[in-house]
């Protein structure tokens, strides 16, 4: 450098100095920026990074579980995958929305490509692609590894027993919100409060860590234990479905209650639905008819009228009443008739023979106000307070608004309306010694830690009638299910049954009168009569094959009662010889009733008799339509056809072998298919003549099986069941008292 010219050396030094200054300035700027980043802007940068690496998560606690009274799960929440997307991230990765939608549709069956394309093309940061996918579909989506498409965990409501107690439980929607039933009524308890927290996410946007995650997984809504007994509920649903299908009815409902506590053990409706997929069923199938549908109760109200008069002291138990030889003129335009010509009857006989005239005479002793007060005290005309949405209180007009005829007709169940739950609750008054209990469906509510939130103890609303009066009326009602009574088909071998049949023509709201071809058959009672454990109300709406309450609803009461008493371990009355004699008497009484029914049916065909209906809208024959009932009973005589040869293999997981139900009755087919987890869908009535899928095929558990029924031809003279053992393989038995009575 010393050999360089002086001038050049000087410029070189200047340039080196300038370069040094530049480097020093750059270093200073870097240091200043580092200071700014590390100190001055650190909070802002940390917040930005945190936003990139974390996300706000809104957590809805897992919905509480619903149990039956013994702890069996009726409604649970399970974790499932939901496919979501960030359209902005997808667009940043250069992915085409339409192509991505088609790619997703290739692994998710039923995905709407056009809808998904529109969502992916939006400018939003979040979009649902498909909610609640199967594990297999979720795994397939992950394998696609599409930028911006990810799986989220959601809780889905699952009903492990499918249709069981569907109308009680209701269902929750895809967002976990209760829509109907207990799910809706107890929404606040089941859902629990929402929480929001920050969670770390991975490069695909999935939540991988949070201080709150471990704690959040333990958060859940409150658990609810119902009063429902799963076994009794299944029995009630099975027998109700069988009766509706056998008698080709429009609908039906059954309520089973403990009269001593007011606890509802079963509440069944038909038609029904599967709450796991409610959208596949007609909306009418989801109606909880037992609490929302009002109907005129007909003759089932007669015991309450008589109990009210006895409690008021306006009549005596041994008093006789003029029944006008079958006709009583109320005014110039209205006449009350009985189908049989009785002269005088006691209160017990009025119940046993279901005399409209006798009941009206008793009601007259109380006057309008007395009858109205008696009905109100039994709970008619007001809601029961059951924790289910849509409950109606029925209709009982104030006595000041009654017409001349109303005081008479209301006494035997015309001109007023009730619900099945009201009817069962009122019958509980007579069963438990005169106390009106508040019906309960929720037994207890507990939080996630097991602490008791709500414990519903039995509640007595009021003492309606004296205990002695209740016992007296209960004794009178046992004659209904004894020889000559209208409810002989409801009698249970080994147990004393107290009850009342009801057959009412439905109101015609167009004409203002009663529809001639629309009936409502009912039976309500309790068992054992001397120490009641069960109140059972059965209502069958618009049966076609027959319409008398004793014939249509009575057998449902018997079969539900038999199975429920066995389940509860209630021993029969007496034993040994006494029990055998009681069963023999019942068999003989049923046999005589069926013979009487056969004769009545033949007489009607030959024009020698016309059971018909009373002018007041109640049917007093209890024998109309017997040929159809006999046909239904004979439908159980078929024999199964051999299963065609098919290639055999073991069923895969979730599959079951379809049994052969051809030649079986509807009842037998129903039970056979339910045992293997299949759901029958009946067409027609009578014996099963065809089915789809074919016998021997494999079907998914819970899948429907189409069963075609056809009624066989028969001779009515051969239709009386000759079975000396008293077992009848039928869903419907003919029951008509030899003396004749109103239902």
- Would you name the residues annotated as active-site residues? 299
Distance CA 458, CA 69 (A): 15
Q: What's the CA gap between 239 and 244, in Å, rounded?
A: 9
CA distance 523 to 526: 10
Strand partners, 153: 81
Cα gap 173→155, rounded to integer Å = 11
Distance CA 236, CA 165 (A): 10
Give the phi and the psi of residue 656 in degrees, each rounded to 5.
Answer: -145, 155
Contacts of 48-51 with CB under 8 Å at 24 or more apart are: 50/198
CA dihedral 212→215→218→221, nearest 10 degrees, is -60
Distance set, CA 652 to CA 249, 648, 649, 656, 701 (Å): 38, 12, 9, 8, 11
d(C-alpha 46, C-alpha 174), whole Å: 37
CA-CA distance, 233 to 243, in Å (whole number)?
A: 15
Question: What is d(CA 699, CA 687) in angstroms, rounded to the nearest whole number?
Answer: 23
Give the separation between CA 79 and CA 216, rounded to whole angstroms: 14
Query: Taking a C-beta distance cutoff of 8 angstroms, is the pair 387, 439 a contact?
Result: no
Q: Take residue 152 and report the two structure tokens written for it.
A: 């989220």
- Residue 490 three-state SS: helix
Measured on CA atoms in the order 334, 338, 342, 344, is the torsion positive or negative?
Answer: negative
d(C-alpha 296, C-alpha 396), whole Å: 11
Measured at the CA of 83, the angle between CA 88 and CA 202, to 5 degrees, comes to 65
Tell whether omega for the bond before 603 is within 30 degrees of 0, i.e. cis.
Answer: no
Residue 179 sits at the vertex; the CA angle it makes with 176 and 182, to the nearest 5 degrees, is 95
Quick count: other Cβ atoms within 10 Å of Cβ 404? Answer: 12
* Beta bridge partners of residue 500, listed in sequence order: 524
The answer to whether 163 and 129 are in contact (CB under 8 A) is no
Rounded-to-10 torsion of CA 332, 338, 367, 349: 160
Q: CA–CA separation, 376 vs 382, rounded Å? A: 8
For 701-718, b where at least 16 C-beta lie within 10 A, e where not — what string?
Answer: eeeebebbbebeeeebee
Q: What tokens appear for 455 in the block?
A: 């414990």
What is the rounded distance in angstroms from the CA atom of residue 2 to the CA atom of residue 601? 141
The beta strands (E) that lie in 508-645 are given as 514-527, 534-541
Neighbours of 545 (CB within 10 A): 21
Bridge partners of 418? 295
Instruction: Report the alpha-carbon angle 385-387-392, nearest 5.
Output: 55
Q: How far apart, in Å, do the first and last CA atoms of the chain sit?
A: 132
Q: How many helices (H) and strands (E) does the chain have?
A: 23, 26
Q: What is the largest CA-CA distance in the chain?
A: 154
- Please check whether residue 567 is in contact with residue 548, taking contact to mean a CB–CB distance below 8 angstroms: no
Q: Residue 442 is encoded by which pair of tokens?
A: 């929720």
CA separation for the pair 536, 323 (Å, rounded): 30
């Amino acid at each position: 450098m010393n050999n360089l010219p002086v001038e050049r050396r000087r410029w070189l030094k200047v340039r080196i100095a300038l370069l040094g200054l530049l480097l020093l300035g750059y270093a200073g700027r870097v240091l200043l920026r580092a200071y700014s980043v590390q100190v001055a802007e650190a909070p802002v940068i940390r917040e930005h990074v945190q936003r990139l690496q974390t996300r706000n998560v809104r957590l809805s606690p897992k919905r509480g579980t619903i149990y039956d009274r013994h702890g069996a799960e009726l409604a649970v929440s399970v974790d499932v995958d939901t496919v979501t997307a960030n359209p902005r991230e997808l667009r940043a990765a250069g992915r085409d929305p339409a192509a991505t939608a088609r790619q997703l549709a290739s692994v998710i069956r039923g995905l709407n490509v056009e809808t998904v394309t529109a969502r992916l093309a939006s400018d939003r940061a979040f979009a649902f692609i498909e909610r609640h996918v199967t594990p297999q579909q979720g795994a397939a989506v992950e394998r696609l590894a599409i930028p911006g498409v990810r799986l989220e965990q959601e809780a889905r409501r699952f009903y492990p027993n499918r249709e069981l107690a569907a109308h009680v439980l209701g269902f929750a929607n895809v967002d976990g919100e209760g829509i109907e039933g207990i799910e809706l009524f107890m929404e606040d308890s089941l859902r629990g409060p929402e929480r929001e927290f920050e969670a770390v996410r991975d490069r695909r946007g999935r939540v991988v860590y949070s201080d709150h995650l471990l704690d959040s997984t333990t958060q859940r809504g409150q658990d609810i234990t119902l009063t429902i007994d799963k076994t009794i509920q299944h029995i009630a649903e099975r027998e109700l479905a069988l009766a509706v299908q056998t008698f080709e009815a429009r609908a039906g409902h059954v309520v089973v209650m403990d009269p001593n506590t007011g606890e509802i053990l079963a509440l069944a409706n038909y038609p029904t639905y599967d709450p796991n997929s409610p959208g596949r069923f007609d909306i009418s199938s989801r109606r909880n008819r037992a609490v929302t549908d009002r109907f005129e109760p007909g003759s089932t109200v007669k015991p309450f009228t008589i109990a009210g008069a006895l409690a008021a002291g306006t009549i005596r138990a041994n008093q006789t009443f003029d029944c006008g030889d079958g006709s009583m003129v109320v005014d110039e335009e209205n006449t009350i008739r009985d189908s049989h010509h009785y002269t005088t009857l006691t209160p017990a006989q009025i119940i046993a023979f279901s005399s409209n005239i006798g009941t009206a005479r008793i009601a007259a002793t109380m006057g309008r106000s007395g009858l109205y007060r008696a009905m109100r005290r039994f709970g008619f005309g007001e809601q029961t307070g059951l924790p289910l949405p849509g409950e109606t209180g029925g209709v009982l007009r104030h006595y000041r608004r009654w017409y001349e005829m109303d005081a008479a007709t209301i006494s035997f169940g015309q001109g007023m309306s009730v619900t099945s739950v009201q009817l069962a609750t009122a019958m509980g008054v007579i069963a438990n010694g005169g106390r009106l209990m508040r019906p309960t469906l929720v037994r207890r509510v507990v939080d996630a830690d097991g602490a008791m939130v709500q414990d519903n103890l039995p509640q007595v609303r009021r003492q309606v009638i004296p205990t002695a009066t209740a016992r007296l009326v209960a004794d009178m009602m046992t004659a209904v299910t004894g020889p000559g009574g209208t409810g002989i088909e409801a009698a249970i071998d080994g147990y004393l049954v107290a009850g009342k049949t009801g057959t009412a023509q439905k109101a015609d709201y167009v004409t203002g009168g009663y529809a001639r071809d629309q009936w409502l058959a009912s039976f309500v009672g309790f068992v054992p009569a001397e120490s009641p454990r069960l109140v059972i109300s059965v209502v069958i709406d618009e049966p076609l094959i027959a319409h008398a309450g004793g014939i249509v609803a009575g057998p449902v009461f018997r079969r539900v009662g038999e199975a429920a008493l066995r389940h509860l371990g209630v021993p029969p009355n007496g034993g040994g010889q006494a029990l055998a004699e009681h069963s023999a008497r019942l068999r003989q009484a049923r046999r005589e009733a069926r013979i009487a029914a056969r004769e009545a049916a033949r007489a009607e065909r030959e024009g020698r008799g016309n059971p018909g209906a009373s002018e007041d809208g109640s049917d007093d024959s209890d024998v109309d339509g017997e040929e159809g009932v006999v046909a239904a009973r004979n439908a159980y005589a078929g024999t199964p056809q051999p299963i065609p040869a098919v290639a055999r293999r073991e069923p895969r997981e979730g599959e079951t072998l379809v049994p052969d139900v051809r030649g079986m009755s509807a009842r037998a087919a129903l039970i056979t298919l339910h045992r293997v987890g299949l759901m029958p869908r009946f067409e027609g009535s009578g014996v099963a003549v065809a089915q789809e899928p074919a016998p021997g095929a494999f079907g998914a558990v819970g899948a429907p099986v189409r069963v075609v029924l056809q009624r066989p031809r028969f001779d009515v003279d051969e239709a009386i069941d000759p079975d000396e053992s008293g077992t009848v393989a039928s869903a419907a038995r003919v029951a008509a008292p030899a003396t004749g009575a109103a239902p």
